[in-house]
A and B are shown apart, each in its own frame.
Chain A
């Protein structure tokens, strides 16, 4: 370490020279650019002016090379050998700080490390960058390893252009939440120690969200750490979210079902949201519910009303689940699925199952006795009495009845399928960048929605039909209506792929989970991001809203299931028991039990009622304690299958749990 200090004065001189030569370089580049674009006058002008105001011009004209300018912030005159010393200095500083603020301060280490490395790479100090990486990458926390591996792939300035991760670090500031005392201590220490390099990075690339109060504990920090670009800013979760359920439209029903008042809305996907438990009587509106007209919804059809009546009849036969009464689990195993099963969906009434395969076909199965039938041909349809009561029955052709139908049309793996609430349509999202709408009357493709242009990872129908959302590799989520071939909303903000997307039961919000390890909640009405939730340490694979709309459960590749409350966007519970990626989550119809399943071939049941009651007892204005699954004994049961990963979970209206997966898919 003696060497760099000795070399320091020389280095300063050298850097001054660098400064000048760099300006000249920029100027030369600009001139070259002008020449290339035949901007002769400007070029001449610039040449003239170059003697007087070279720097100003240089900056001003180079803005069209957007990427370069973005990166040029990494232009640094620092001695490449000093980086290690400065970083070590930061480490020592944090080590020497007060215990109470130590864990808060150590949040700074990772972003500083990343930005120092990028600066080294940008300035062409390849070997120093490698050494720097080798020295300190081990010190970073476990959940950063995935990004670090990617970071290590760039060793040249050229690599940094067009790289997603790189751009994320560059275009957005890494957010760190810190209490005022810690922040001031950090600043003072950096000044005292003359650690200008770190100070610059902190000022330029970090956003420190300062709050008044006591420093957070290590556990608290760790719980919300994990996002690709740090935590959510506090003000990001300030806006109001109407997480209540829509007022149930009045319909005349053959059966009175008023005794269900105590339970909140049960069917997330059906037109039967009930009022919030706090709302009491049916006619009192839920204060947290959005106005019914906030998002325009379709009128209920007669068939919907009949369907709802059936659903309500089922309701009376539903089993109330709890720790003493666990559901039966029925597993649908896909055999001979050599093509590779990827996605499964089961209709709300559990009569249909749709599966998307890697060989781009979609298969539909009838799970009940009612077979799949096509509509009669047009010539036959003209003879049918359209006024008959059973016209829907008459239009179907019995000769086409079968248990399984195949839908062909995609030209890439089908990553997601979704059945419309009225079971007349199927949506599919595929690797070919399209979303397709299929008719269940003709078993053919009706519409191909092009817009993503990159693989679509997930699609879902809105709980009231008509709308649907999709999210994919292009890092955007889009809202569509079935009758329009262009999206009506575009939700942009994630730093990486959107891996999963789910509608809120009241159809006013959409939650997205991303590979940037954050979950966002978007308002359909204005397209704004209203909640950002960090805490997962891996890409989010699955999301699921509680039936009453208050909570959101998420599963990730880290094998953990987290539960968030939507009022403030706080993490309220951590359910850790899975040993591998969680692919499927499902709340039971009354919201008291959560089922999760994943790559570890296991279905697990969790007592979430306990979580909710603990959370409701707390004051939510401050960060709540996180309910830990181990401590609170939330795991109700674990049910391994023999060799079948769980891809999908679904509670029937009577609270029977259905699981689906493909046997021997992972045997390779």
Chain B
């Protein structure tokens, strides 16, 4: 019985059973076994014959149709009803040797069509395409019919090797190799065939390695290389690239769990990439601007999202341009501010990490406001040079309604180049509905207070306008205090900030002495979203293990160096090592701060699970992180 496994065998008892169902009872064993054997043989014979029909239909898979054809040609009635794609399930009845096929309601049309033809098939058509020109295979595009799935194996060997090399270099730690690859990718004119795979690699990659800042950064560099390669037409892949970049800007990445990771830099870099992609043509801007704005607005208006997402939304808005800042950020500020304020006001030790994040967001908003105002200021300066008008003071001319006709914003070019703290933004912005600079300023000032003033005159340049001539303030001291402001949570508040309070706004509440680090903050709104606090608290309760993660104290300075935040990565890495994933000081300095690790997350948003990072020094803390993993 060696060949039993090759063929279906019908047992005599089955034959008897079928006989009984047809009304023939009492078949002798002998007859039953003979019939069974004959039926088996006939089945095999028909199956053999049906393969011929399969072969001639140029298929590899035998289907019910083939079998029916073979039956018809052996003068046997075809069996209908087995053309469905799903296998028929045989269901055993318990405690008896009975099996029956599942009898469920079926769609007759589907069955009749043999499941092959979709409900709305396109018309059968012929499409001509070149496979090769004079013997040279076209690298891509051959038969790029609708919905063609690309087959990596169909690429040439060289392409496959190149792809492997690039992806390997990106994912491995060899910095030099990665740089080499990226610089080649930036210039190589022949990589268009690989574009879909590289785009796919990046968009899948950011989700796979969201725990590894270094790799995420490399992936973003890869995007940078792709968008700078003049030979590539990104066209259909822009959607993917933009959503990938957006992912890095907005999502609460797993790297963000560990406060040592400078994921802020990643978000900044990604935002810069976004602005570069969008700026590359008006058409792209028009295509994506609206949906991006909507997405950013949604994040900003959702208090359940972690602060790092909010931060991403703010820098993303900056990337989209001053108009986006004005339209979304300024309008959202009134509802968002209380949330941020609440975070910043909470002086409890358990809140410290979140507060750090809050400062980051605060800084980002400041930067955005500064950018907005500077742009406006420049516009009004330009305006003035054309039509000399009276002094522009916030109070003097609130009704200034001059309309400016300017080109599309491209102010971020200089952002990426020199940073926002540098020279004033020179690019004008065209806005359909613009408020005068003074209006905007007064609006922003209500929230941001004097730190805004500082930012507008960081280098002590006297303003041409009489915006807020802070004559009673030592500018250098102010700059210092700004740094100090970021250290307030440590309790070494030096004072002096009180000077910042402008007397021009008597309505503005004074800062409490003792400083909470929210200089210029508006008092909390009456309607504090208690829900959030409640959630945070409950989260804390829920994860009692998430307690002690060691943080180096000096890290915060670099993390919160707000003015330099939008400086391009290169210049930053040139001056300080802190932005790279594993700061050098971490390994040597034993001065470690213990703070309560609170998840920078509110509500249902999950943080991606992370692997134990090298950044954590003691093994006990490693366990903590592991436990965290288990919890999520």
Contacts and interface: CB of A to CB of B under 8 A. Distances in A.
Interface of A: 130-131, 133-134, 149-150, 152-156, 158-159, 163, 325-342, 353, 357-358, 363, 365, 404, 412-413, 415, 431, 454-455, 457, 473, 497, 499, 515, 539, 541, 557, 581, 583, 599, 601, 603, 605, 636-637, 639-645, 647, 659-660, 663, 665-666, 668
B353 to A, nearest CB: 51
A333 B129 contact: yes
Given A130-B2, A339-B124, A663-B143, A557 B60 contact: no
Given A336-B124, A539-B55, A331 B142 contact: yes
Contact of B124 (A154, A332, A363, A660): A363
Contacts of A365: 126
Interface stretch (B45-53, B388-396, B510-518, B536-544): B45-53
Interface stretch (B146-154, B413-421, B524-532, B598-606): B146-154
B124 A515 contact: no
17 contacts: A131-B2, A152-B7, A156-B37, A163-B45, A326-B135, A328-B134, A331-B143, A333-B126, A334-B126, A335-B126, A335-B145, A339-B124, A340-B59, A357-B124, A639-B131, A642-B142, A643-B143
A342 B154 contact: no
Interface string B118-130: 1001111111111
A499 B143 CA distance: 29
Given A325-B134, A365-B126, A643-B151, A583 B58 contact: yes
B106 interface: no
Interface in B1-60: 1-3, 6-7, 37-38, 41, 44-45, 48, 52-53, 55-60
Contacts of A642: 142-144, 148-151, 154
Residue among B37, B58, B149, B150 facing the most chain A CB atoms (10 A cut-off): B58
A153 B7 contact: yes
Contacts of A499: 55-56
Contacts of A581: 55, 58
A206 to B, nearest CB: 25
A329 B45 contact: no
A603 B131 contact: yes
A640 B6 CA distance: 35
B592 to A, nearest CB: 57
Contact of B48 (A153, A339, A342): A153
Contacts, number: 174
Contacts of B237: none
Contacts of B59: 340, 665-666
Nearest to B38: A158
Given A640-B154, A663-B148, A665-B58, A152 B131 contact: no
Nearest to B127: A333
Interface in B99-141: 116-118, 121-137
B60 A663 contact: no
Contact of B45 (A134, A153, A325, A415): A153
Contacts of B37: 155-156
Given A133-B3, A336-B121, A338-B117, A327 B134 contact: yes
A331 B130 contact: yes
A331 B41 contact: no
A339 B117 contact: yes
A210 to B, nearest CB: 35
A358 B3 CA distance: 34
Contacts of A353: 126
Given A336-B124, A431-B69, A641 B60 contact: no
Contacts of B136: 326
A340 B3 contact: no
A668 B61 contact: yes
A121 B515 CA distance: 103
Given A152-B6, A328-B132, A499-B55, 11 more contacts: A133-B2, A329-B132, A332-B126, A333-B129, A335-B125, A335-B126, A413-B53, A581-B58, A603-B132, A641-B142, A642-B149
A335 B135 contact: no
A582 B57 CA distance: 13
B73 interface: yes
A641 B131 contact: yes
What 4 pairs across the A-B complex have the smallest Cβ distances? A326-B135, A134-B2, A336-B122, A153-B44
Interface of B: 1-3, 6-7, 37-38, 41, 44-45, 48, 52-53, 55-61, 65, 69, 73, 116-118, 121-137, 142-146, 148-151, 154
A60 to B, nearest CB: 31
Nearest to B146: A335
B131 A335 contact: no
B143 A666 contact: no
A331 B154 contact: no
A608 to B, nearest CB: 15
A336 B125 contact: yes
A194 B2 CA distance: 30
Given A133-B2, A336-B122, A431-B69, A330 B130 contact: yes
Contacts of A404: 125
Nearest to B48: A150
A668 to B, nearest CB: 6
B131 to A, nearest CB: 4
Given A338-B121, A557-B55, A333 B45 contact: no
- Residue picked from A153, A154, A541, most chain B C-beta under 10 Å: A153
B2 A332 contact: no
A641 B2 CA distance: 42
Given A335-B145, A636-B135, A599 B58 contact: yes
A337 B124 CA distance: 5
Contacts of A412: 69
B60 to A, nearest CB: 6
Contacts of B125: 334-336, 404
Given A158-B38, A342-B58, A663 B145 contact: yes
B71 to A, nearest CB: 13
Contacts of A357: 124
A152 B52 CA distance: 18
A329 B130 contact: yes
A159 to B, nearest CB: 5
Contact of A330 (B48, B124, B131): B131
A454 B73 contact: yes
Nearest to A593: B135
A107 to B, nearest CB: 25
Contacts of B145: 333, 335, 663
A130 B57 contact: no
B73 A455 contact: yes
Contacts of B148: 642-643, 663
Most buried by B among A329, A515, A583, A645: A329
Given A332-B126, A333-B126, A643 B149 contact: yes
Nearest to A162: B45
A311 B37 CA distance: 62
A325 B125 CA distance: 32
Nearest to A133: B3
Nearest to B37: A156
B35 to A, nearest CB: 12
Contacts of A363: 124
B168 to A, nearest CB: 25
Contacts of A335: 122, 124-127, 145-146
B56 A342 contact: yes
Given A431-B69, A666-B60, A331 B122 contact: no
A603 B150 CA distance: 18
B128 A130 contact: no
| Candidate in B53, B128, B132 with the most chain A CB atoms within 10 angstroms | B132
A662 B266 CA distance: 47
Nearest to B155: A640
Given A130-B3, A133-B2, A155-B41, A599 B60 contact: yes
A641 B137 CA distance: 10
A91 to B, nearest CB: 19
B110 to A, nearest CB: 13
Contacts of B56: 342, 413, 415, 455, 457, 499
